[in-house]
């Protein structure tokens, strides 16, 4: 992970993450950016469940282009509030979206057009605060948003970057297609014979993927269908600790800055309490051709 | 009658807004429980839609902290991308949506973005999420909110999710908004309803143990009261049993309504 972030996420980059909404959030990638002290990032996403709040609190972020930033089961994002209200640890620019409009902004970039029209956001003040969304001729036009890099966490991938993800996908596909590059982190690194046995399940074209990181537990505390439940207590703990600047900084030291990598982090988690044990397998699909 | 919390009452009332056969944009928190209750009683053929990219019929078999939790995916009718779910809503296929809010005004407009000047807000709220999309595109929608003067305000500082706009007749149609807008505001004290043609909200029922005066005192404008105002029906034993089955530890129904 350290190498992937070092090579593909420079200071000032526009980074799309948390694209499946609450599941499959690439926390390990975000924590590595924090350890490498990235600065001036623009974060792009739909609903961000705590990861954006952490990066904002760590001072890595210049702008957020998203529909929602907070802690889904606990409420407000305390670092997000401090940055917007008091410029702590630094001022933050916000480009507000709805879930639908951020999806359209990414589809516009994916299809290489300047904007896409929608009926969503008519009558909303989001039109007043986001310079990239305007109302014209009875429709709302959403300007393209192109990430430099999209980071996705998936259940399994091969070394060529073919990622299998399942469960709800949120805006993962449009974000990956819109981005110049994609980094994949995965629970399991598998042989190409596994991924290619089911090409419908491959999330994004391998031509976009510049890095594959085998990072078991890389989405904790978010859930991974078939692997991990959501660690609700961890989100609650984070919400409580991040209420004050001092509390957040101590949390960051304990769980990010003072941790060398994801495998050390996972040793401190009660993995057994969140591991999914009962299989619920899909029927195989027959790709026979003769 | 057994005891119940304000949140349990709100869930029961919200569940009654779901009609059998409805396609419901469920969202998060209390509405997830309301959907489960409705599905187990009067709305056995309703379907739920979640912007994460899911459609379900049966409520999830386990506790949900978010709509994307594994129990909500197992047994789904459809697991897909968000834009596919939005396609259904953009076509007017979603009958009912639920939206939470930090502030609501007399015309049902919701603010989940900024308190104060957006350039230097006194409070930065999390944002729209799918709220604005539901408010504009679903056929009808309902808000759940804690009944406090600072939350029920005469005019919201920022319209994240438009209700009936400036309250003038036909405001939504004139501005091109697809759906019919908010039909009810369910609070910790009362149920407020909008006239069928939109406009200004009015007290329809007051929750057991509360009074009209208390409702008015906790509202930031001169709230209208229906001539036939009555008491909100308490949750039935069956509704309470369903709520407690889907929220066994009281995560959503035995702590504050608006977390954070």
Question: What distance in Å separates the CA atoms of residue B185 and residue B219, rounded to the nearest whole number?
Answer: 12
Contacting residues of A for B80, CB less than 8 Å apart? 168-169
Nearest chain B CA: its distance from A6 CA (Å): 30
Contacting residues of B for A168, CB less than 8 Å apart? 50, 52-54, 68, 73, 79-82
Contact B118 A77 (CB under 8 A): no
Instruction: For chain A, positions 167-186, list CB contacts with chain B under 8 A.
Output: 167-174
The answer to whether A212 and A189 have CB atoms below 8 angstroms apart is yes
DSSP A107-157: HHHHTT-SEEEESTTTT-THHHH-TTEEEETTEEEEE----SEEEEEEEEE
State both tokens at A222. 């978010």
Contact A122 B136 (CB under 8 A): yes
Mean pLDDT of B201-226: 98
Q: Which of A67, A103, A230 sits opposite B129 (nearest CB)?
A: A67
| Chain B residue closest in CA terms to A105 | B83
* A118: Cβ contacts below 8 Å, ≥ 6 apart: A100, A101, A104, A139, A140, A142, B90
pLDDT at B2: 61
Which H/E stretch holds residue A251? helix A245-252
Nearest chain A CA: its distance from B193 CA (Å): 21
Q: What are phi and psi of A195, to 5 degrees?
A: -65, -40
E-strand ranges in chain A read 14-16, 41-49, 61-71, 75-76, 93-96, 115-118, 133-136, 139-143, 149-157, 163-164, 181-189, 209-214
The per-residue pLDDT for range B130-167, each reduced to its tens digit, is: 999 999 999 999 999 999 999 999 999 999 999 999 99
Contact A98 B83 (CB under 8 A): no
CA-CA-CA-CA dihedral for A246, A91, A116, B175, to nearest 10: 100
pLDDT at B260: 34
The per-residue pLDDT for range B119-128, each reduced to its tens digit, is: 889 999 999 9
| Chain B residue closest in CA terms to A93 | B119
| Chain B residue closest in CA terms to A231 | B65
CATH, residue B119: 3.40.1080.10
Contact B126 A168 (CB under 8 A): no
| Among B28, B60, B81, the residue to mutate for chain A (most A Cβ within 10 A) | B81
- Tell me the Cα Rg of chain A: 19
| Chain A residue closest in CA terms to B86 | A100
Instruction: For chain A, positions 241-270, list CB contacts with chain B under 8 A.
Output: none
Please tell me chain B's helix, strand, coil percentages from 3-state DSSP, rounded to the nearest 5: 25, 25, 55
pLDDT at A19: 98
Q: Which of A76, A99, A103 sits opposite B129 (nearest CB)?
A: A99
Contact B159 A125 (CB under 8 A): yes
The per-residue pLDDT for range B58-81, each reduced to its tens digit, is: 999 888 999 999 999 999 999 999
| Residue A111 neighbours by CB distance under 10 Å | 12
pLDDT at A130: 96
Contact A235 B121 (CB under 8 A): no
Question: What distance in Å separates the CA atoms of residue A237 and residue A45, rounded to the nearest whole number?
Answer: 23
Position B257 confidence tier, pLDDT thresholds 50, 70, 90: very low
Tell me, yes or no, if A229 comes closer than 8 A to chain B by beta carbon: yes
Buried b (16+ CB within 10 A) or exposed e, B11-21: bbbbbbbbeee
- In percent, the amount of chain B with pLDDT more than 70 equals 97
Position B1 confidence tier, pLDDT thresholds 50, 70, 90: very low
Residue B256: inside a domain: no
Contact B130 A280 (CB under 8 A): no
Contact B82 A46 (CB under 8 A): yes
Which DSSP state fits B158? S
Domain A2-274 bears CATH identifier 3.40.1080.10: yes
The one catalytic residue in B17, B51, B103, B239 is: B51
Mean pLDDT of chain B: 94
Position B28 confidence tier, pLDDT thresholds 50, 70, 90: confident
Residue B85: inside a domain: yes
Residue B209: inside a domain: yes
Tell me, yes or no, if A84 comes closer than 8 A to chain B by beta carbon: yes
Q: Which domain holds residue B47?
A: 6-246
Instruction: For chain A, positions 88-147, list CB contacts with chain B under 8 A.
Output: 94, 96-101, 103-104, 107, 118-126, 128-129, 138-139
| Among B63, B82, B94, the residue to mutate for chain A (most A Cβ within 10 A) | B82
Residue pairs spanning A and B at CB distance below 8 A:
202
Residue B258 has pLDDT above 50, yes or no: no
Annotation marks residue B51 as catalytic:
yes
- Tell me the Cα Rg of chain B: 17
Question: What distance in Å separates the CA atoms of residue A213 and residue B130, rounded to the nearest whole number?
Answer: 31
Contact B52 A81 (CB under 8 A): no
List Cα–Cα distances, A216 to A232, A236, A262, A275, in angstroms: 19, 23, 8, 12
Number of domains in chain B: 1
Contact B132 A22 (CB under 8 A): no
Q: Residues in chain A with pLDDT < 50?
A: none
Nearest chain B CA: its distance from A228 CA (Å): 8
Contact B260 A174 (CB under 8 A): no
Contacting residues of B for A232, CB less than 8 Å apart? 65, 251
Which DSSP state fits A191? -
Tell me, yes or no, if A77 comes closer than 8 A to chain B by beta carbon: yes
Q: Are strands B23-25 and B47-50 parallel, antiparallel or unpaired?
A: parallel
Q: What are phi and psi of B115, to 5 degrees?
A: -100, 125
């Amino acid at each position: 992970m350290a190498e992937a972030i070092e090579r593909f996420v420079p200071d000032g980059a526009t980074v799309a993450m948390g694209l499946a909404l609450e599941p499959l959030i690439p926390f390990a990638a975000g924590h590595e950016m924090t350890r490498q002290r990235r600065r001036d990032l623009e974060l792009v996403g739909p609903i961000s469940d705590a990861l954006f709040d952490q990066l904002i609190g760590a001072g890595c972020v210049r702008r957020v282009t998203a529909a929602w930033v907070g802690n889904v089961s606990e409420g407000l994002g305390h670092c997000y509030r401090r940055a917007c209200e008091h410029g702590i640890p630094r001022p933050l620019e916000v480009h507000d979206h709805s879930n639908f409009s951020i999806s359209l902004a990414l589809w516009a970039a994916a299809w290489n057009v300047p904007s896409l029209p929608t009926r969503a956001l008519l009558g909303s003040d989001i039109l007043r605060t986001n310079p990239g969304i305007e109302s014209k001729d009875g429709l709302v036009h959403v300007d393209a948003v192109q990430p430099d890099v999209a980071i996705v966490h998936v259940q399994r991938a091969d070394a060529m970057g073919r990622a299998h993800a399942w469960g709800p996908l949120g805006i993962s596909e449009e974000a990956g297609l819109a981005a110049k590059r994609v980094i994949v982190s995965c629970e399991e690194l598998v042989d190409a014979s596994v991924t290619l046995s089911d090409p419908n399940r491959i999330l994004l074209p391998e031509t976009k993927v510049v890095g594959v990181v085998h990072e078991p537990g890389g989405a904790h505390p978010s859930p991974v269908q078939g692997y991990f439940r959501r660690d609700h207590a961890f989100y609650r703990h984070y919400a409580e600790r991040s209420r004050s600047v001092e509390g957040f900084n101590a949390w960051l030291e304990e769980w990010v800055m003072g941790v060398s990598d994801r495998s050390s982090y996972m040793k401190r988690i009660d993995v057994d309490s969140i591991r999914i044990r009962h299989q619920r397998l899909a029927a195989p699909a027959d790709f026979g051709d003769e | 009658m057994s005891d119940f919390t304000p949140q349990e009452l709100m869930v029961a009332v919200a569940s009654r807004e779901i009609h059998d056969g409805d396609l419901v944009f469920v969202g998060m928190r209390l509405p997830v429980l309301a959907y489960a209750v409705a599905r187990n009683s009067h709305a056995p053929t309703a379907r739920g839609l979640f912007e994460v990219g899911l459609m379900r019929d049966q409520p999830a078999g386990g506790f949900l902290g978010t709509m994307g939790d594994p129990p909500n995916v197992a047994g789904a009718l459809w697991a897909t991308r968000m834009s596919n779910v939005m396609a259904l809503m953009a076509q007017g296929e979603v009958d009912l949506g639920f939206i939470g809010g930090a502030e609501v005004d007399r015309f049902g407009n919701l603010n989940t973005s900024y308190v104060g000047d957006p350039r230097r807000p006194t409070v930065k709220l999390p944002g729209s999420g799918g709220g604005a999309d539901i408010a504009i595109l679903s056929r009808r929608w309902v808000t759940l909110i804690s009944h406090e003067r600072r939350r029920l305000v005469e005019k919201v500082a920022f319209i994240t999710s438009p209700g009936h706009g400036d309250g003038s007749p036909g405001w939504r149609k004139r501005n091109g908004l697809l759906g019919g807008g908010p039909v009810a505001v369910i609070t910790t004290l009362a149920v407020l309803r909008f006239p069928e043609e939109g406009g200004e909200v009015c007290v329809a029922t007051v929750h057991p143990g509360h009074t009209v005066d208390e409702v008015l005192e906790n509202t930031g404008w001169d709230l209208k009261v229906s001539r036939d105002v009555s008491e909100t029906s308490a949750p039935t034993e069956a509704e309470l049993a369903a709520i407690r089955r889907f929220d066994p530890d009281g995560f959503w129904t035995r702590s504050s309504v608006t977390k954070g």
